[in-house]
Structure 1
């Protein structure tokens, strides 16, 4: 599936989740960033307007955020 705009943000691993979410939404206004605790079970539905920001218990992004 082809989505509009930037689709992954490897440079945000290690950044606070709130900062990562704001950067994602600024760099690709077609998406909404959702902050989740890493390990949270989610559905497998792929959406071009969603980016999941997975954070650890300290609120730091621990995986590359991607559209989906």
Structure 2
């Protein structure tokens, strides 16, 4: 992603996998003020567009992060 979104600062948060999704979103937004973190349930339909101002935080039914949050 970093080549598609130059100058965006930190672009992935592997350390947030297995944490609470709302907590993860708040950490992401505090570490990179250029993005909005959106908590999304795994299996939900989303658009396929790449956006340098968005991080999708994929969570399971217990709101635990299941994928590495990454800009895009």
TM over 0.5: yes
Counterpart Cα distance in 2 of 1:56 and 1:67:
19
Give the secondary structure class of the aligned counterpart of 1:21: helix
Match of 2:13 in 1: 9
Superposition RMSD on alpha carbons, in Å? 0.7
Give the superposition deviation at 1:12: 0.3
Equivalent of residue 18 in structure 1, options 22, 26, 30: 22
Counterpart Cα distance in 1 of 2:5 and 2:20:
28
Counterpart Cα distance in 1 of 2:60 and 2:31:
23
Give the superposition deviation at 1:19: 0.3
Match of 1:55 in 2: 59
Runs of 4+ in 1 over 6 A off after TM superposition: none
Tell me the TM-score normalized by structure 2. Answer: 0.91
> Unaligned stretches of 5+ in structure 2?
none
Give the superposition deviation at 1:2: 2.6
> Unaligned stretches of 5+ in structure 1?
none
